[in-house]
Amino acid sequence: MTDDGELVARLRNGDEAAFVELIDRYNGSLLRFARTMVPNDAVAEEAVQDTWLGVVRGVAGFEGRSSLKTWLFRIVANRARTAGVRERKAGTPLGFDSSTPSVAAGRFDEGGAWSDPPGAWATEVEQVDDRMEAERLRPVVGGYLDDLPEGQRQVVTLRDVEGLAPDTVCELLGITDANQRVLLHRGRTRLRSALATSMGKD
């Protein structure tokens, strides 16, 4: 697979095949992220199309101070905002929904620790059946991810699905590191709780 640096160089030389390869590589990720920021798929697709236009127009000015992936996510975040980010309640921090608890109170003891600590995330010594189960659960997780409050959905998508660094996520969403960590924790907790329920383990 062509590395990003080579793709950028080819793009600057007007290589159409490089542009097609770039779209193949990142379009799904950009669309997934845009959908977390706008009211519907049509607006998300418009934001991503605008992003690719922005790449064509701006690739000559790309200086490589961030990764190509980060640059693309920065463009789509800006396009999605201008394409119609949903109105947020005045004075409510991004993604904080106080109407419902993020997790059942019984999961924590009086000191705030897990009453039944969650198991460790998958290790390198994963068994084949674990991988098969993960594949089976992928669409289920996607559905639960769509149900998260907006801010949690954005942070979990960028951190856990797209693999972006915390500081990049903070920059893209315009939030503090503390807010990013809280949103990530709440989002992961909701997903874990939903999965446990769907698997009959709650």
Q: What pLDDT is recorded for position 106?
A: 54
Q: What pLDDT is recorded for position 123?
A: 47
- Residues 22-77: tens digit of each pLDDT: 999 999 999 999 999 888 889 999 999 999 999 989 998 888 888 899 999 999 99
Spatial neighbors of 161 by CB under 8 A, at least 6 apart, are: 29, 32, 145
CATH number at residue 75: 1.10.1740.10
List residues bridging with 108 in a β-sheet: 114
Contact (CB, 8 A) for 152 and 66:
no
Distance CA 24, CA 72 (A): 13
> Do 71 and 120 sit in the same domain of this protein?
no
> Do 109 and 70 sit in the same domain of this protein?
no
Please give the residue that has the higher pLDDT: either 198 or 153.
153
Q: What pLDDT is recorded for position 118?
A: 47
> Do 30 and 114 sit in the same domain of this protein?
no
Please give the residue that has the higher pLDDT: either 46 or 194.
46
List residues bridging with 114 in a β-sheet: 108
Would 56 be classed as within a structural domain? yes
Would 91 be classed as within a structural domain? no
Of 67, 63, 65, 51, the closest CA to residue 19 belongs to 51
Reported pTM: 0.67
